[in-house]
Structure 1
Amino acid sequence: MYKAILVDDDVAVLEFLKKLIPWQRLGFELAGEYTDALDAIRAWEGRYPELIVTDIGMPGLDGLSFIRLVQSEEAGSRFVILSCHDEFHYAQQAVQLGVQDYLLKETLTPGGISDIAARVKARLDEDRRLKTEVDRLQSQANRSQSADKEKWLRDLLASPYADDSTVLSRLGEYGLSAEPGHFLPVLFRAHRYRDALGRYRQEEAVKFIVENAAEELLGEERDVLFLGFSGQSFFLLHAFRKDLARNPYDEAAAVADRLRQAFARVLKLEYSVVIGEEACGGAAVKRRLAELAEAGERLFYSDGAVVAKAAERLGEFNREDPFLYHFEYAERFNRLLLEATGDTGPAADAFAAFLAEKRFQPSNVKQLVWKLALDMLLKLKLGMAYDKEKVQQDIGQITHIGELRDWLADFLREAVGEAERIAKKSKKTEIVDAQNYVRLHLGRKITLEEAAEHLHLNPSYFSRLFKKETGENFIEFVNRSKMEKAKELLGGGSGKTVEETAIALGYDNKSYFVKLFKQHFGSSPGRFL
Structure 2
Amino acid sequence: MGGSDGKFRVMLVDDEPMILRSLKAAIPWDELDLEVVGEAKSGDSALKLARELSPHLVISDIRMPGMDGITLMKELKADQSRRLIIFISGYGEFEYAREALREGAFDYLLKPIDHEELTETIARAAKTLERQMADDRMLHSVKVLSLLARERMLTEFIEGSRSPLQHMQWLEDSELEDGYTMAVIQLDHYPRLNQQWSMDEKRLWLFAVRNVLEEWSVMNGGLTVFPFRSGEWVLLLPSLTRDRQETIGRDLVGLIKRYTKLSCSVGFSGGMAGIDRLGVAYETAVRALYRRFYTGAEGVFPGGGESEAEQSGGLKYPKQLESLMVESIRTLNKERLLELLDETKAYIGEHAISREMAERLLFELSVVLYRQFEHMKVTFEWSLEELLQQFQSSQTLQELMDVMKSRFGQWMTDSRTGHSRDNVQAVIGKAKAYIAEHYQKDLSIEEVSELSDLSIGHFCTLFKQTTGYTFLEYLTECRIEKAKSILRNTNVKVYQVAPLVGYQDPRYFTQVFKKITGKTPSEYREEATTAM
User: Shorter-chain TM-score category?
Assistant: 0.3 to 0.5
Higher helix share: 2
TM-score, reference length from structure 1? 0.40
Structure 2 length-normalised TM: 0.39
Larger radius of gyration: 1
Q: Which has the higher contact order (CA 8 A, sep 6+)?
A: 2
